[in-house]
Amino acid sequence: MNIEKIKDSLLEIKLLVDMKVVAETLSRIGIANKRQKILYPSCYVIENESKYYLAHFKQLFLLARNSAYNAICDDDILRRNAIAFCLKEWELIDVPDELIVPHNKYIYVLPYSQKNEWSIKHKFNLRSLI
């Protein structure tokens, strides 16, 4: 995976727990359709050269295809940073505070106990990066 072309736009993080724990938690955070009980995860954790990054799914499209349309906007980055703020508060990751200043960007966190009651629909397949 060559992340050099978008590396500056990714959020470098330090994992405080196993990467699988962070990935599972991220699978339950995003945009929700509460009426239909569908959750669309917003972010993913990726590893490159022993460093870890938090990336919005739209950033990952740019990694997967050179010709991908860059549709990421400021709200997407604010949402990614709001998710990073939560992960830091829960002591799952560490990231400098100045990179994730608190704001009012809405995210939905699906409780683990309700995970089986919802459909989780990913907009990006991480296997496409391999």
- The tens digit of pLDDT for each residue in 22-81 reads 999 999 999 999 999 999 999 999 998 899 999 999 888 777 666 555 778 888 899 999
Q: How many CB atoms lie within 10 A of CB 97?
A: 10
What average pLDDT does the segment 87-104 reach? Answer: 88
What average pLDDT does the segment 96-100 reach? Answer: 88
Per-residue confidence (pLDDT) for residue 66, from 0 to 100: 62
> pTM to 2 decimals?
0.86
Question: Domain 7-129: which topology?
Answer: Alpha-Beta Plaits (3.30.70)
Of 48, 41, 35, 49, nearest in space to 76 by CA: 41
Burial 15-35 (b: 16+ CB within 10 A, else e): eeeeeeebeebbbbbbebeee
Predicted confidence band at 101 (pLDDT cuts at 50, 70, 90)? confident
- Domain segments of the chain as ranges: 7-129
Of residues 58 and 102, more confidently modeled: 58
What helix, strand, coil percent values describe the chain, rounded to 5?
35, 25, 40
Per-residue confidence (pLDDT) for residue 113, from 0 to 100: 96
- Let me know: does 71 contact 45? Beta carbons within 8 Å: no
